[in-house]
Amino acid sequence: MDPVTVAAGTALVGAMATDAWAHVRDAVVALWRRPHPEQADAVAVRLDELRVQVVAARGRGDADIEAALVALWRLRLHELVGQDTVLTAELRHLLDHRLGPASREAGASPAATVEQRARVSGGTSIQAGRDVHYTPPSEP
């Protein structure tokens, strides 16, 4: 998945619980309207419904709901921009100027992208973005 859509999906959900939400929603809907004008109104309604879920989940301390919505919007944005480089650039602009600042207003960490690569020959390589628990195989 493109790093822009990953970061934008994260920032979008983070921005849902902020005072800037109406402006963020309108900007996302405007982006959506370009390739899919027939879907824009439904997207606006859905975003507002999901905002209610995010605010309620935060009130309950339910991080799982928010994580599920982040995954959902990463996928939706990925499907929206596809291979369209112009639309991806517009999403990057939206991320830099609306989504990111609004998400940080809510106290969210800035969305970051980490790329890891490994080439292993005859050994073990472990790469992780979080905790790793590894038990090496016992010697024969």
From first to last of its 140 residues, the chain has per-residue pLDDT tens of: 788 999 999 999 988 888 889 999 999 999 999 999 999 999 999 999 999 999 999 899 998 998 999 999 999 999 999 888 999 999 999 998 888 887 776 554 444 445 567 777 777 777 665 566 667 777 76
Would the pTM count as exceeding 0.85? no
Alpha-helix runs per DSSP H in 3-137: 3-15, 21-33, 40-60, 63-81, 85-94, 100-105
